[in-house]
Structure 1
C-alpha cells in the first residue's frame, strides 16, 4: 500500500487529502512499524477506498489505474477485513510490549512479567479478538456493499442422501475463524518458548539478581550459586557468598534501604561497587588495609552489563584508559 501511494507526489497528495494521515512502510525488523502500518488503514478504511477509487479515474495514466484497481480489489474483501481487524488488535498489544522491553536497565524478571502479560492477553481475549474481527468484516461488507462470498472457483462436493449443505465444508466466516485461532495458538506457543528461554537464563544468574543480592536467605543463595559456577568455573560458591554479605554491609552503611536496593538494576549495583572501590581494594591490598574485596560480583555484573557500560562510557570513571573496556580491565586485574 505504501509502495503504491509513495510512487508520485500526486498519489501521495490524494492520500493525504482523503485520509489525513500517512500509511507507513512495512519493516521486517521493527515491530512498531507493523502496528503503525495497520492502524491508519483500520481507522480510515472507507477513506482509503475512496482515495483508491479516485485513482481509478480514466483521467489517470494506465499504470496508476492498474495499480489502484488491483489494490482496491484486494482490500475490498471479507478475508482482508477480518485480518485487518485481527492484526490491529494483536499488534497493538505486541507494540506496547516490545516498546517496554526496550527500556534501559530492564531486569529479566520484568521482561518475563511483560511477556506473561502478553500471553495472558492472547489466552483470555482469544475468542473476543476473533469474534470482533468477524463482526467488523461483516458490518463493513454490508455497509460498503462488498461481497462476502469466497473468491475463485468453488469445488462442489457430491452430497449423499441425508447430508446437509453445511456438511460439505466450512463457510468463509468459519474458515476465517479457524485460521485466526490457529495464528493465535501458534503465537502463544512461540511466546511460551521464548519465556522459558528467558526464565532459564534468569535461573542461571539468579544469585546476582537484585532481590537475591539484597534479601535472599543464606540457604537460597547457596542453592543459586551452583547454577552460576557450573558455567563460570573461575568463581567459587564461598567467594560469591562472602561478597554478597560484604555488599549488604556496605548498603546498610550507606543508609540505602532494602526496598530501594530491590529496585536497582544490575548496572546500579555495579556502579555502587565501583563507587566504594571494591575493585581498587582487590587490586591494591597493600595500600588498602581492609583488603579482601575481590571483584567477583563486579565481574559477574560486568558479564551482563559490559555493553551498556561501553555505550555510556562508564569505564572512563574507573580507568584513565578510555580504549579499555571495563570487562577487560577487571580481567587484567
Structure 2
C-alpha cells in the first residue's frame, strides 16, 4: 500500500494544500479488516493520531470502499470524523468501463481497435510500414487506465486514412506472409459502422479525458471537483439532448477521404420461427437505428451512474458550501447560520458550534468588504485572506473549518504516482532491496522538490561525523 498524507500547511505566511508521500506499507493481507489494522498500526508507528484524521480516500475496490467491511468502514469505527471519499478519478474511470460494455457492439468495437494496434506492433516490419505514413504512432488501451482509451481512440480517429493506406499496402504485398490475410480481415471490419462508433467515442472520451486530467491535481479542493463533475455532466447531457446527425455527417466525410462506402451495412435479418397461433413479431432495427440506440445507451449509462457515484463528494461539499465566496455574497443571513450550526455540531471536537455561528454571521459582511472579488474567491484564497488581514483571532473557528474542508481528499492520484515510481525504483536489479532503503529512495524520488533544497555539503559533513568513530578507534 502507498501512504499519502494530505494536509494544509503554513509556508512563508501562506497556507498551501500539500499531499506528501510517507511510506510504502508491505502487506500480505487482503480483507478490509486486516488492511485497516495495518493502516492504524502504521499511523501509530509514525506517531500520528488517527483521531486527527478528517478524511480518507481509496479506490472503489470492495475491500477498501465497502460500506460494511471495507477499510473505510473500519477506520470510521475508530474515528467517525474520518469521512470517506472514493477516488473521483477512479469513479470516472468506472463510468467509462461500464459504458464501454453497454452492448456487444461496443465490446467488439474496442476489440477491433486493439486488434489494429496489435497487428502493427506485433511485427517490426509492419510497424515501420505504419511509421512511413503516420505523423505519430497508434496507442494501446486498457480498462485500468482510462486515459489510454482516449489516446487509442483519438490517434486512430485522426489518422484513420493513413492506417487504411498502410493496411492496403500490406494486404497487396505477398512478402508480408500471414500479415496479408490479417490485413484483409481488418479492412473488412473497418466499415462505416465502425467509423461512426470511432467518431462517437472520440467525442465522449475527449470530454471525459479533460475532466479526468484536472481532477488528478494534487491540490484540488472538493468544491472545485464538484464544479468539474457538474460541467462534465452538463456536457454529456448536451450530447444526449442532441442527435446523431452531426456524428454521421463527420463519419461520412472521413469515409469519403478513406475510400470507404459511406452507408450503414445491413446484416442478414434473422428469421425467428413463430409458434402456432402466434401473430406478433419482433421489431427489426436497421444498423442506423441500432447505432442511435447504442449512442443513447452509452450516454444514459454515463449520466445515470453520475447520479450516485459522486454522492460522497457532493455531501461533503454541501456541508461546507456556505463558506465559499459565491455563497457568502449571494445567500441571506439566515441560511449560513443554519448551515453553520449543522457543521458546528458535526465537528464539535474541532470548533465551538455557538461561536462558529456567531462568526459566520459577521464574517459574511467582513468578507464582502475585505475581498474585492468575493464571488470568485476560492476557499484557499479566503483562508489566506483571513491570515493576511489578521482576522485569525476574530474568526478562529472559520479558519479551522476552511482547513478541514481543504484537507478533504478528492482523488488518490498521488498514490498511483507513487506506485509508478515504485516500478522504476524496485526493478529486477534491486530485487533484494530492503524496506527501509526502498522507502528512502522513494522519498527522494517522489518528494524531489524538497530533496533539491537540501544542502549536500551539510549532509556529507553529518554523515562523516557519524562515521568518525571508526577513525578514533584506530
State the TM-score, normalized to the length of structure 2: 0.51
1:53–1:68 CA contact under 8 A, matched in 2: yes
* CA distance, structure 1, for counterparts of residue 361 and residue 237 of structure 2: 43
- Tell me whether 1:81 sits opposite 2:182 in the alignment: no
Alpha carbons of structure 1 residues 268 and 28: separation in structure 2 relative to 1, 3 Å: farther
| Equivalences, count | 291
* CA distance, structure 2, for counterparts of residue 229 and residue 66 of structure 1: 70
- Superposition deviation, residue 225 in structure 1: 1.5
1:86–1:129 CA contact under 8 A, matched in 2: no
Provide Cα deviations, 1:171-207, integer angstroms capped at 9, x if missing partner: 1211221121111222222233346554432211123
- Tell me whether 1:52 sits opposite 2:167 in the alignment: yes
- Tell me whether 1:120 sits opposite 2:234 in the alignment: yes
Which structure has the higher relative contact order (CA within 8 Å, separation 6+)?
A: 2
Equivalent residue number for residue 300 of structure 1: 401
Alpha carbons of structure 1 residues 4 and 233: separation in structure 2 relative to 1, 3 Å: farther
More strand per residue: 2
- Superposition deviation, residue 116 in structure 1: 3.6
Alpha carbons of structure 1 residues 159 and 170: separation in structure 2 relative to 1, 3 Å: farther
2:157–2:199 CA contact under 8 A, matched in 1: yes
2:147–2:209 CA contact under 8 A, matched in 1: yes
1:266 to 379, 382, 386: 379
- Superposition deviation, residue 266 in structure 1: 2.1
Equivalent residue number for residue 184 of structure 1: 299
* CA distance, structure 1, for counterparts of residue 296 and residue 246 of structure 2: 13
State the TM-score, normalized to the length of structure 1: 0.68
- Superposition deviation, residue 61 in structure 1: 4.2
- 5+ residue gaps, structure 1, are 161-165, 280-291, 314-333
More helix per residue: 1
* CA distance, structure 1, for counterparts of residue 230 and residue 304 of structure 2: 12
Other structure's SS at 2:339 match: helix
* CA distance, structure 2, for counterparts of residue 303 and residue 25 of structure 1: 41
Alpha carbons of structure 1 residues 233 and 307: separation in structure 2 relative to 1, 3 Å: closer
- Superposition deviation, residue 137 in structure 1: 4.8
- Superposition deviation, residue 224 in structure 1: 0.9
Equivalent residue number for residue 231 of structure 1: 346
Alpha carbons of structure 1 residues 247 and 225: separation in structure 2 relative to 1, 3 Å: closer
- Superposition deviation, residue 169 in structure 1: 0.9
Over aligned residues, Cα RMSD in angstroms?
4.1
Alpha carbons of structure 1 residues 211 and 105: separation in structure 2 relative to 1, 3 Å: farther
Provide Cα deviations, 1:67-100, integer angstroms capped at 9, x if missing partner: 53443333x2343222111111222222333344
- 5+ residue gaps, structure 2, are 1-115, 276-280, 415-446, 451-474
* CA distance, structure 1, for counterparts of residue 234 and residue 328 of structure 2: 30
- Superposition deviation, residue 17 in structure 1: 1.6
Equivalent residue number for residue 126 of structure 2: 11
Q: How does 1:130-145 map to 2 (within 5 A)?
A: 130-137=244-251, 143-145=259-261
2:336 to 211, 221, 224: 221
